[in-house]
Amino acid sequence: MAEPIETPFGTFIETSPGNFEFYNPPAAAPAPATPATTPAPRTPPRTGNQGKPGASGDEAVCGPRPGTPLQPGQVLVCNRQTRQWEVQGDPAAAYRPPVDLKDPLTDPTKKPTGAPDGYEYVWNGSRWELQEKGSGQTRAEQRDSARAIVANLLAEYGLENLTDFVDNLIRTEDIVSGDVILGKIRQTEQYKARFAGNAARRAAGFNVMSEAQYIAMENQYRQIMRASGLPGGFYDAPDDFTTLIGGDVSAAELSSRINEGYLAVQQANPQVVAELKRLYPVGDGELAAYFLDPEKATPILLRQARSAQIAAEATLQAQQQLSAATAEELAVAGITQEQARAGFQTIAGAEELFVALPGTTEEAISQQEQISGVFGTSAAAQQRIRQRSRERQATFEAGGRFAGQGTTVTGLQ
């Protein structure tokens, strides 16, 4: 038989694994009755500490305290009139429901300790539960508060379509913690689509942005695009910024792409746009997207934009069509659109110098040599043009010659 367990509510015994009942020991056998023929001697009443030496007052009157088993709510009392020990008290009045000794949170008399900072244990009628200190809110009030807080977040995120989902969490699953609700929101497909740039960032090895950081970056992108006059379709929906955020394009880099790339081409002579489309196949509707594509490095985009400007001046001033390689070579050399205009005007004016004279052994100076010599990207081409100029001067009294400025041929005189 299991050993009895003493608790503040009484003595219990485990009747089966996990089940406890009050321990009711068998009652002691009654003392044998005194024969009627032998009357009990009547002893004069005793008071004080009479009787055995060292006996208490009750024991002096009623004799030694018997070992009568007691139930919860019962006490042993000395009846001084009868000089007998009596059991008094009603066990039923002192009964309390048994406590699950294995779960301390079900004992209403023992408040748990060790609550986290800012929280305390509160008895909810059946067990102890954690609650923020000083909240003083009922469960219904906590649900209403959670709804209001999360509703504001959903509106900020543009995820109002998750309102019913959140309401079900609060009403059906009784979740009132904002952190827990937000964690479940982040697992939905709607959330993942709204902040799709974070998935791309994670895959590319970039840090994932918080919702606040993500939205702040979208707002910066939107302000730059609107101020630059880009079509509204480029910044009127969150997915317009997914590739930019996923590609870790900063606001400064976006501004550079727009102002030095897209706008430099879009607002230039139509011939510049035409040359960009010829050199780097780009359709009308793809022009802005071409410069905003984060997969294309910004320096490359800006070089291509300058190349298109240079190629346009070649066509306008000298009726020459440059290859992408030649146009980019001049762009890398730092030739601006204004310098390209002046250089190709020089080439157009010296056309007779570049062709071979009939009846001579001269060879024509190629288009590539003309460009390299005039813009100073080839010393050999410069030297050949100067040599041709001197030869023509010796042949024709009024011949023209090139005037050099530093190492770069800049025009005729």
Residues 114-155 have pLDDT tens digits of 788 777 777 766 777 777 766 556 778 888 888 999 999 999
Residue 67: is its pLDDT beyond 60?
Answer: yes
**What is the pLDDT at residue 91?**
65
Percent helix / strand / coil, the chain, rounded to 5:
50, 10, 40
C-alpha gyration radius of the chain: 50
Residue 176: is its pLDDT beyond 60?
Answer: yes
**What is the pLDDT at residue 304?**
85
Model confidence at 17, pLDDT cuts 50, 70, 90, reads low
- Mean pLDDT for all residues in the chain: 79
Mean pLDDT of the 209-238 span? 86
Q: How far apart are CA 10 and CA 21, in angstroms?
A: 10
Mean pLDDT of the 210-228 span? 91
Model confidence at 73, pLDDT cuts 50, 70, 90, reads confident
Closest to 166 in 3D by CA, of 153, 231, 344: 153
At 77, phi and psi to the nearest 5? Answer: -125, 140
Q: Tell me the residue type at 157.
A: Y
Beta strand spans in 38-168 (E):
75-79, 84-88, 119-123, 128-132
Residue 364: is its pLDDT beyond 80?
Answer: yes
Most confident of 72-86, 202-216, 389-403: 202-216
More confident site: 153 or 394: 153
Residue 226: is its pLDDT beyond 90?
Answer: no
**What is the pLDDT at residue 16?**
65
Q: What is the percent of the chain with per-residue pLDDT over 70, rounded to a whole number?
A: 74
Beta strand spans in 297-377 (E):
none
Residue 184: is its pLDDT beyond 90?
Answer: yes
Q: 32-36, 251-255, 263-267: which has the minimum mean pLDDT?
A: 32-36
Q: Using DSSP, state whether 200 is helix, strand or coil.
A: helix
Name the β-bridge partners of 85. Answer: 78
Residue 12: is its pLDDT beyond 90?
Answer: no
Torsion, CA 275, CA 276, CA 280, CA 285, rounded to 10: -130
In the numeric block, the tokens 């100073």 are attached to 376
b/e per residue, 307-335, with b = 16+ CB within 10 A?
bbbbbbbbbbbbebebeeebbbbbbeeeb
Residue 36: is its pLDDT beyond 90?
Answer: no
Model confidence at 400, pLDDT cuts 50, 70, 90, reads very low
More confident site: 355 or 36: 355
Q: How far apart are CA 59 and CA 52, in angstroms?
A: 9
Question: How far lies 81's CA from each of 34, 43, 47, 78, 193, in Å?
Answer: 19, 12, 12, 9, 90
Residue 403: is its pLDDT beyond 90?
Answer: no
Closest to 400 in 3D by CA, of 343, 354, 345: 354
At 409, phi and psi to the nearest 5? Answer: -75, 125
Residue 216: is its pLDDT beyond 90?
Answer: yes
In contact, 2 and 14? CB cutoff 8 Å? yes
- Kindly tell me the sign of the dihedral angle through the C-alpha atoms of 397, 399, 405, 406: negative
Q: How far apart are CA 255 and CA 80, in angstroms?
A: 104
Model confidence at 330, pLDDT cuts 50, 70, 90, reads very high
Q: Using DSSP, state whether 358 is helix, strand or coil.
A: coil
Q: How far apart are CA 291 and CA 254, in angstroms?
A: 9
SS3 of 281-315: the string is: CCCHHHHHHHHHCCCCCHHHHHHHHHHHHHHHHHH
More confident site: 7 or 151: 151
Largest CA distance in the chain: 177
Residue 225: is its pLDDT beyond 70?
Answer: yes
Tokens (6 digits) for 218: 């979208």
**What is the pLDDT at residue 22?**
57
